[in-house]
């Protein structure tokens, strides 16, 4: 899933490691104009061998910059808050 703000910030959720071997599951944040990944939120609880969906497949951002990842497998909405 891809989310792009008006400031050219692109957020992409990667939850499928079975079809994309070598990719770490998580949320990538970068510049849509230049195509570079600036930040990465690693999915700590993801199981790369789990064929059922796990990890964020939906990404949203609120006005405070908090990122939300929708995880359909466990039916959860995970909130990510910047700490640094």
Each residue's pLDDT tens digit in the chain (84 positions)? 555 555 688 788 876 656 667 777 788 888 887 888 888 888 766 565 665 666 778 888 898 888 898 887 778 888 887 776
| Paired strand residues for 29 | 11, 39
On whether the CB atoms of residues 33 and 73 are closer than 8 A, the answer is no
What is the C-alpha separation between 8 and 17, in angstroms, rounded?
A: 26
Q: Which domain holds residue 45?
A: 2-80
Q: How far apart are CA 70 and CA 7, in angstroms?
A: 22
Name, in order, each residue with C-beta under 8 angstroms of 37's C-beta and a sequence gap of 6 or more: 28, 29, 30
Provide the number of structural domains found in the chain: 1
The single residue listed with the structure tokens 């990404």 is 59
Task: Give this prediction's pTM.
Answer: 0.71
């Amino acid at each position: 899933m891809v989310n792009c703000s008006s400031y050219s910030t692109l957020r992409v959720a990667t939850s499928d490691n079975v079809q994309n071997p070598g990719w770490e599951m998580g949320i990538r944040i970068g510049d849509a104009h230049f195509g570079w990944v600036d930040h990465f939120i690693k999915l700590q609880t993801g199981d790369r061998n789990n064929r059922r969906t796990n990890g964020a497949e939906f990404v949203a951002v609120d006005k405070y910059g908090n990122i939300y990842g929708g995880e359909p497998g466990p039916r959860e909405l995970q909130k990510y808050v910047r700490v640094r």
